[in-house]
Structure 1
Amino acid sequence: MSENLLDCLVVGAGPAGLTAATYLARFRRHILLADAGASRARWIPASHNCPGFPFGVAGNELLARFRLQADTYGVPQVRTRIIRLERFDGGFIASDGARHWQARTVVLATGVVDRLPAIEGLEQAIANGTVRLCAVCDAYEARDEVIGVLAPAQAAIGHAAFLRTFSRHVFALAADDSPWNEAAQQQARDCGIQLWPGPQRLELIDGACLARSAEGRRLRLDTLYPVLGADAQSDLAAALGASLDHEGALAVDDHLQTSVPGLYAIGDVVSALNQISVAVGHAAIAATAVHRRLPENYC
């Protein structure tokens, strides 16, 4: 068992998981990186918000660079989806339904899955920037455009107000049947946000997003930000009793350890700002904490 027992299993190979695995490999730890190949970073057409890339970098290119760095230090990887995590006296047992791995510690970098509107050609729309998923990341690239925010009525106003610092032409589109309350209407007036009823249909036409209302109104948007929430991939930890926040993200301490000893979480699955730079910082902190927690590995 001791030969097969991993020092750490890293689950998820986005920027966070790949960075954590690289750190642990450089610490000369016996690790494995398990990944299902669905990093949220792959959606990024070009990030101009990632440190070290002044002219922008596509998500897949960035992931390739992270993978190359991990490969340079011999990080072993397996393409699979871990579906179950259990405790045993020496650590954790992870399973993909067919295979099992034992590890003293586990780092979860499982991310979130965005809830997206039903639009034909959505992937292409994201690729060309017509649909954007992160205003903090790329609102600068949408400056001065006609921008729409699709979100539950009351929540849409706050997101739209943030985007008003980048464009004079911002519309809040209700994603539910709730009427705009008086406070929301006043905030919209104060911020210069235009309110629009929930679209009956969204379609892509000539590089723009066209919203059609039930009354037949049409609104052409250069950029649409759907803010419909995301589902944190925290089930593995939750099954072990790890603490979650009200949105299902994992609560962690200053060392990125969950409430389950030996179980760490990094990146978007953690209750924090969802940014690549934050995920990489999480990875450095967690990997170093894991290394210090483990038995010494003298030469």
Structure 2
Amino acid sequence: MDDCIIIGAGPAGLTAAIYLARFHLKIRLFDCGSSRAALIPCTHNHAGFPEGISGLDLLARMRAQAERYGAVREAVRVQRIEPGETWTVETASGTFRSRSVLLATGVVNNRPRSLPDDLHDEALARGLLRYCPICDGYEVTDKRVGVIGTGDHGRREALFLRGYTRDVTLIAPDAEHMLDAACVAALDEAGVIRVDGPCGDWAIKDDCLVVETAGGLLSFDSVYPALGSVIRSELAIAAGARGTEDGCLEVDDHQRTSLPGLFAAGDVVKGLDQISHAMGEAGVAATTIRNMLSEKEPLRR
């Protein structure tokens, strides 16, 4: 019987593993290997790394720290979780029991459908394609930036980036823009250019990302897809946990979901999708788990 099973080994899951292992608890850490943090070529927004650090390097450091205290990451995808007096966690390699479960499964960004995978990965590695203006908007200061999106979500991203550069173009992903009068007025007031889609025939040329639109070929120093994301909350929702309309898990101030013994931290919870925020939530969740278990049975050496 485990004290806690952690599902997901991104910044939230690994932070929780460090805390829980140092609490001398028996834990399992399941990782299907798809942390969004692994896609970060270099972040300059994470405190403590003035020269920046890649997502892969950050995760490797965090894994090594967790393993130092006895946590072991298992490369297994969890198929189902079931509540009860103790939690049941089913994987392809077996079924496990635990006194608590922490879900740190994050989200998956929606990619431009017409962008080939190999070109996507190269553009991402070179900083020509970016997904988080909060993380790396500084890097596009005074550069030419494209935003793939429309509606209120596209408007918000374009206006956010307008705080870094005056050269922002909002491109509809499919056909004509879907913008109401208020969106059009806000974009016009900010000087954001609007171009209809669809987007296609992507290419990298002269260290720029080039895309064909209804307005012709456009070249950008960086492009931000503002196409939303898929929240990976399905395990908890299927078990009966409450979620928001967009699929995020509802939690209280201590990261407790609506199901006793089930906790959630990081991007799977509604909030600021930032590494630092995910790590803070994981610290709160792990401490609450420790205290909950101690109330049921005192933890003593």
Q: TM-score, normalised by structure 1?
A: 0.95
Q: 2:130 matched to which residue of 1? A: 132
Aligned length: 293
Matched, 1:115 2:110: yes
Q: Deviations over 1:209-256 (max 9, x none)?
A: 2121246x1211111000111111101100111111121011100000
- Structure 1, unaligned runs of 5 or more: none
Cα distance in 2 for partners of 1:44, 1:163 equals 19
* Residues 209 and 29 (structure 1), Cα distance of their counterparts in 2 relative to 1, 3 Å cut: same
State whether residues 248 and 269 of structure 2, in contact with CA within 8 Å, keep that contact through their aligned partners in structure 1: yes
Cα distance in 1 for partners of 2:83, 2:42 equals 40
Could you tell me how far 1:179 is from its partner in structure 2?
Answer: 4.2
State whether residues 148 and 170 of structure 2, in contact with CA within 8 Å, keep that contact through their aligned partners in structure 1: yes
Q: Which amino acid aligns with 1:174?
A: A
Q: 1:169 matched to which residue of 2? A: 167
- Tell me, what secondary structure is at the counterpart of 2:100? strand
Among candidates 275, 295, 298, match of residue 296 of structure 1? 298
Q: Deviations over 1:263-298 (max 9, x none)?
A: 000111111100000011011100000000002221
State whether residues 150 and 178 of structure 2, in contact with CA within 8 Å, keep that contact through their aligned partners in structure 1: no
Cα distance in 1 for partners of 2:43, 2:163 equals 19
* CA-based RMSD: 1.3
Q: 1:182 matched to which residue of 2? A: 181
State whether residues 195 and 214 of structure 2, in contact with CA within 8 Å, keep that contact through their aligned partners in structure 1: no
Cα distance in 1 for partners of 2:271, 2:18 equals 22
State whether residues 153 and 173 of structure 1, in contact with CA within 8 Å, keep that contact through their aligned partners in structure 2: no
Q: 1:29 matched to which residue of 2? A: 25
Cα distance in 1 for partners of 2:56, 2:178 equals 40
Matched, 1:79 2:79: no
Cα distance in 2 for partners of 1:86, 1:164 equals 46
- Structure 2, unaligned runs of 5 or more: none
Q: TM-score, normalised by structure 2?
A: 0.94
State whether residues 153 and 175 of structure 1, in contact with CA within 8 Å, keep that contact through their aligned partners in structure 2: no
Q: Which amino acid aligns with 1:35?
A: D
- Tell me, what secondary structure is at the counterpart of 2:136? helix
Q: How does 1:218-297 map to 2 (within 5 A)?
A: 218-294=217-293, 295-297=297-299
Could you tell me how far 1:88 is from its partner in structure 2?
Answer: 2.5
Cα distance in 2 for partners of 1:225, 1:99 equals 40
Shifted more, 202-211 versus 226-235: the winner is 202-211
Matched residues, percent identical? 41
Could you tell me how far 1:154 is from its partner in structure 2?
Answer: 3.9
Q: Deviations over 1:135-159 (max 9, x none)?
A: 0000001111100111134431221
- Tell me, what secondary structure is at the counterpart of 1:239? helix
